[in-house]
Amino acid sequence: MEYAKIEKAAEQATVENNAFLVELEVKPNNVIIAYVDADEGLSMDQIKMINRKMESELDRDVEDFNLTVSSPDLNRPLKIWRQYKKNVGRFLKVKFDDRQVEGKLEKVEQDFLVLSVPQKKKSAPHVETEIQFADIVEAKVAIRFK
């Protein structure tokens, strides 16, 4: 099945349902996985509607496929700028420049983000760390237990 056609169907379905496409995987034997999200959080109804819309755009009579529409779980790295924007105020683990930092995502700009990184000494102030998107190897939402 043609990747461009699948991608177009996914983009159209997400936009129509106030969501956005994070990642599209097309595996052998036409196994399609669309990871989608929304700025205000994603509902099960949105996922169902995106799935239905994509299925209606892709013709099973021409070529059979297996479609899964899902929101990315917390173990998946952030892939696109809108995911970062959505997670302002949350803690992230970011790998870049041969190091890893964990801090609260304070700001997202066009080319960089700013993390407020706690210091080892509790009394020390947090350090604002600016990280260029081009330097990020991987960023994930940090799971924190209080």
Looking only at the bridges linking them, the beta strands covering 20-27 and 31-37 are antiparallel
Residue 126 confidence (pLDDT): 85
Question: Block means of pLDDT (10 residues each) for the chain, length 146 residues?
Answer: 93 97 94 96 96 93 92 92 96 95 96 93 84 97 82
CATH number, domain 3-70, options 3.30.300, 3.90.1530, 1.20.140, 3.30.160? 3.30.300
Residue 21 confidence (pLDDT): 97
Start and end residues for every CATH 2.30.30.100 domain found in the chain: 81-141
Start and end residues for every CATH 3.30.300 domain found in the chain: 3-70
What pTM did the predictor assign?
Answer: 0.86
Residue 146 confidence (pLDDT): 65
Can you tell me which residue has the tokens 């924190």? 144
* Residue 14, token pair as written in the block: 């997400």
> What CATH architecture applies to the domain 81-141?
Roll (2.30)
